[in-house]
Amino acid sequence: MPIDKFILLLLGTVGLAAVLPARGTGADVASGAATTAIAFLFFLYGARLSTREAIDGLRHWRLHVTVLACTFVLFPVLGLAARGLVPVLLSSSLYQGLLFLTLVPSTIQSSIAFTSIARGNVPAAICAGSFSSLVGIVLTPLLAAALLGNSGGGFSGDSLLQIVLQLLVPFLAGQLLRPFVGRFVTRHKKVLAVFDRGSILLVVYTAFSEGVVQGIWHQVSPARLGGLLVVEAALLAVMLLLTWYGGKALRFGRADRIAIQFAGSKKSLASGLPMASVLFGAHASLAVLPLMLFHQMQLMVCAVIAKRRARDPEAELTAEAVPAGAAPAAVGTGTRSG
């Protein structure tokens, strides 16, 4: 189970912020650059998403409703239930980050990749992840305001407006301009992927720099981090079981259940980081720590599950049910998620 290289970059960025945090004018410049980069990042997301594919995907509405329910109902319910673990396993600040994690949209690219490896319904995974990301731009901050209130450090009408202006408006602009820039974005997707990751790293550096300046790292002990990992492992295990056997109870076929499991059990680092930086302000570093750890955990575990699903006896029978060539084409039109 190899560690994702991007996670190593994230950890290196955290280390850089701990040693050389941005202060004063440098912090203002870094914050402004991060805001601009994330807005452009979501513009690219909008430009990449095929409107035709999204409309076609609506035909499989039961699957998409199921994934959305897992992402924005089951996950938050489990997050609220984890409140009973404070202060035994989690500190109050880490719990706020854990609860925020449960409100974040699903991933797109990794859901597509794992669904493809496991020989599941790749087109459904594309649409499910895309719908989750789009809905999450609006629903995640609303759920955060309702469930976290002012405890996150800045939930207000102004912060919700910032989310809309920084994420939703650029996304919609990308959709509107897709006929003009879509081909360019597709041709240069490898180069733009570097910008994707660079934007996220800049947000991480800005958030953790502010945390170091505020001295909040003294609130986290190795024991608390260990407790957080245990809780997140249990959370991931429960969601993987619920999405797989829940799909069976709802009479979905094997290919659809695979898409539901991988799209409904994961959380997007790319969407969660910019939202946390707006909603949590100076406390963003602790807020995104649970999400960063959960992101790596879900990649490692789902990689193993996907390979096992590919070796299932049923895989050979259902592979023919998925349109030939769907997986490669799908991955090319999906958006990055992290």
Backbone angles phi, psi at 2, to 5 degrees: -70, 150
Instruction: Determine the pLDDT at residue 133.
Output: 83
pLDDT confidence bin for 282, thresholds 50/70/90: low
Reply yes or no on whether the pLDDT at 217 is more than 70: no
Q: What's the mean pLDDT in 44-73?
A: 81
Task: Kindly write down the DSSP assignment for every residue of 37-96, as one continuous string.
Answer: HHHHHHHHHHHHS-HHHHHHHGGGHHHHHHHHHIIIIIHHHHHHHGGGGTTTT--HHHHH
Tokens of 43: 């513009």
pLDDT for residue 235: 97
Q: Whole-angstrom Cα distance, residue 336 to residue 338? A: 6
Q: What is the pLDDT of residues 146-196, one digit of tens each?
A: 888 655 544 556 666 777 787 778 888 988 898 888 888 878 877 777 887
CB 255 within 8 A of CB 321: yes
For residue 67, pLDDT over 90 is answered with yes
Task: Render pLDDT for 139-160 as a digit per residue (tens, 0 to 9).
Answer: 888 888 888 865 554 455 666 6
Lowest mean pLDDT among 19-28, 269-278, 322-331: 322-331
As a whole number of angstroms, the distance between CA 326 and CA 228 comes to 38
CA distance linking residue 260 with residue 258, whole number of Å: 5
Spans of all domains in the chain: 10-313+322-333
pLDDT value of position 332: 36
116 compared with 232, residue with greater pLDDT: 232
Residue 132, token pair as written in the block: 């989750």
Yes or no: domain 10-313+322-333 corresponds to CATH 1.20.1530.20: yes
* Confidence class for position 211, pLDDT limits 50, 70, 90: confident
Cα distance between residue 279 and residue 275, in whole Å:
6
Token readout for 252 is 């979905």
Supply the angle between the helices 122-148 and 269-279 in degrees, to the nearest 10. Answer: 20
